[in-house]
């Protein structure tokens, strides 16, 4: 997989706007979902006949994909009965009973409907059974009758997924929309806004985007959108009004300081992809804060690294990439970001029960920052895609890691677009570092542990005298449960007070080439060493 070129989307072979099924890393804190790509054909999403109702297609899609793709095989019948039990969240008197060859729905002890039990792994049959029993329940229960179908989807699908892992989940229509905006961008005008009693105040305007080209400046008060006064509306509602289809312009009315008459502007929306990489030139090193991994992250990272190289010339001691608090994002972007700093070798491997879950990600030739020292900062809130990047560069001896143990979110999810425009986010594979480490629960262990430290001297003293925890683990490639538990406790995350010790240690290491070389060898064990 190559990512050395600039200016292109690195989503890979799966169309970001069309594919109903995507491979993802769900952020540990459920803030992002993420696509992964590889030059292989994706698993076929289960397509249901168009003559079936949306309700039947919803449940058939969920049941079939969980049964076929989840890490562990679970019978469709078991999933369906669990889902029906979820009706009790809306109607406490609802009970589902399996009786020989039929399934009975009771409300307050009275049978209100029954259906013939479908074959054990017949997703279509069980989907129809769920639909029929929901219809019966809504006829018999006022609570179920008043419930919107989206609420019924929520309680029943949540019940289907309740005993699976913490990252598998159902997101309804609105949540699904927000997920896709996080991954793919959204139609907007390019402003940052804050609340104001008349509407919203423009905090910042992105250059060379529709708002700036239309003449909007920081400090403007947006008081009206498409003829609707904004006074009294929530910030969330106003954001939704500003966003919309790319082909549809939005009319905004702004009130500008020292100008009595309001200004009406018709602005064409464009695709807005949130910035995830922020660059600062500090002393003799480049500081890059990476807040997540969306479809532009690798391009942003590459551009900023090259900018730093140009600006510093020969005076660049090194690059610090700050992944602290980064919850993850697109797997393919984590892989391509690692590829920026590697010449050859394995970047990551995914493995699961489904045959297509086995994917091998390898580096391609061409490194953008060759021979430039590299330091990564991680903590307990660095998760998912950020752990893929950190593990790859550490295992290859390309970067020194500083901070505390990362979150340990080492699973891959698929995103299945559902008939109601919601999403089923389903765990289907586990992540492994280049040396074969399972990232789940352990995460990455830094070479320089700053947990609880208040100064540089403390960190250097306790870290340089002993091999890194990861080096100790590498001595035995097959980790026991006891080894795993020990590794996960080596450097727990503790919020720092006062000065940023992580940055201070990074600066010290970059200032002293011999220390950096020692630290690099110290943090980069080879398999079997």
DSSP 440: T
Element (H, E) at 413: strand 411-417
For residue 347, give Cα distances in angstroms to 38, 92, 233, 341, 429: 13, 50, 47, 11, 16
For residue 436, give Cα distances in angstroms to 99, 373, 412, 440, 445: 48, 25, 16, 12, 14
The strands making up 318-322's β-sheet, listed across from edge to edge, are: 277-282, 285-290, 318-322, 374-378, 400-403, 448-449
Residues classed as catalytic: 384, 395, 409
**Contact 156/164 with Cβ under 8 angstroms?**
no
* Spatial separation of the C-alpha atoms in residues 357 and 359, rounded to whole Å: 6
- Quick one: 8 exposed, middle or buried, by C-beta within 10 A (0-12, 13-18, 19+)? exposed
What's the token pair of residue 365? Answer: 């030739």
**Contact 145/139 with Cβ under 8 angstroms?**
yes
* Spatial separation of the C-alpha atoms in residues 478 and 312, rounded to whole Å: 44
Please compute, for residue 376, the number of CA atoms within 13 A of its CA located in the half-sphere on the CB side: 34
Residue 131: how many other CB atoms lie within 10 Å: 20
Distance of CA 96 to the CA centre of its chain: 36
What's the token pair of residue 399? Answer: 């970067």
């Amino acid at each position: 997989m190559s990512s050395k070129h600039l200016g292109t989307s690195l989503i890979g072979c799966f169309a970001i706007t069309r594919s109903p099924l995507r491979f993802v890393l769900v952020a540990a804190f459920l803030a992002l979902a993420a696509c992964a790509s590889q030059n292989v054909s994706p698993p076929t999403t289960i397509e249901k006949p168009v003559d079936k109702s949306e309700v039947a297609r919803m449940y058939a899609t969920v049941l079939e994909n969980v049964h076929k793709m989840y890490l562990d095989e679970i019978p469709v019948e078991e999933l369906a009965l669990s889902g029906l039990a979820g009706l009790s969240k809306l109607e406490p008197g609802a009970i589902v009973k399996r009786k020989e060859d039929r399934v009975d729905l009771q409300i307050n002890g009275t049978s209100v409907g029954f259906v013939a039990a479908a074959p054990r792994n017949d997703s279509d049959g069980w989907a129809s059974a769920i639909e029929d029993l929901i219809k019966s329940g809504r006829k018999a229960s006022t609570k179920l009758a008043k419930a919107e179908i989206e609420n019924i989807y929520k309680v029943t699908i949540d019940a289907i997924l309740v005993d699976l892992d913490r990252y598998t989940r159902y997101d309804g229509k609105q949540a699904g929309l927000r997920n896709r905006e996080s991954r793919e961008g959204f139609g907007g005008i390019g402003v940052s806004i804050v609340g104001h009693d008349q509407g919203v105040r423009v905090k910042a305007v992105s250059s060379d985007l529709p708002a700036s080209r239309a003449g909007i400046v920081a400090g403007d008060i947006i008081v009206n959108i498409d003829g609707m006064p904004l006074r009294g509306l929530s910030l969330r509602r106003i954001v939704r009004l500003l966003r919309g289809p790319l082909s549809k312009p939005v009319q905004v009315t702004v009130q500008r300081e020292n100008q009595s008459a309001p200004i009406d502007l018709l602005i064409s929306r464009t695709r807005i992809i949130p910035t995830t990489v922020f660059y600062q030139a500090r002393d003799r090193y480049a500081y890059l804060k990476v807040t997540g991994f969306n479809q532009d992250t690798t391009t942003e990272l590459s551009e900023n690294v090259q900018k730093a190289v140009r600006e510093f010339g020969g005076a660049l001691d090194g690059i610090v990439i700050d992944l602290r608090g980064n919850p993850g994002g697109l797997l393919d972007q984590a892989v391509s970001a690692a590829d920026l700093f590697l010449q050859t070798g394995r970047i990551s491997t995914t493995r699961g029960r489904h045959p297509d879950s086995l994917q091998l990600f390898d580096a391609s030739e061409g490194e953008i920052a060759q021979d430039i020292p590299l330091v990564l900062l991680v903590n307990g809130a660095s998760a998912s895609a950020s752990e893929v990047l950190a593990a790859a560069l550490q295992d290859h001896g390309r970067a020194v890691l500083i901070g505390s143990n990362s979150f340990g979110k080492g699973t891959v999810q698929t995103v299945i677009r559902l008939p109601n425009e919601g999403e089923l986010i389903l765990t289907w594979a586990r992540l492994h570092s280049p040396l074969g480490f399972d990232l789940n629960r352990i995460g990455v262990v830094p070479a320089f542990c700053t947990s609880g430290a208040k100064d540089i001297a403390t960190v250097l003293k306790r870290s340089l005298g002993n091999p890194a925890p990861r080096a100790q683990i590498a001595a035995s490639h097959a980790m026991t449960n006891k080894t795993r538990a020990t590794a996960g406790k080596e450097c727990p995350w503790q919020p720092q007070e006062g000065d940023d010790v992580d940055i201070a240690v990074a600066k010290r290491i970059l200032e002293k080439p011999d220390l950096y070389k020692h630290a690099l060898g110290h943090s980069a064990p080879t398999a079997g060493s």
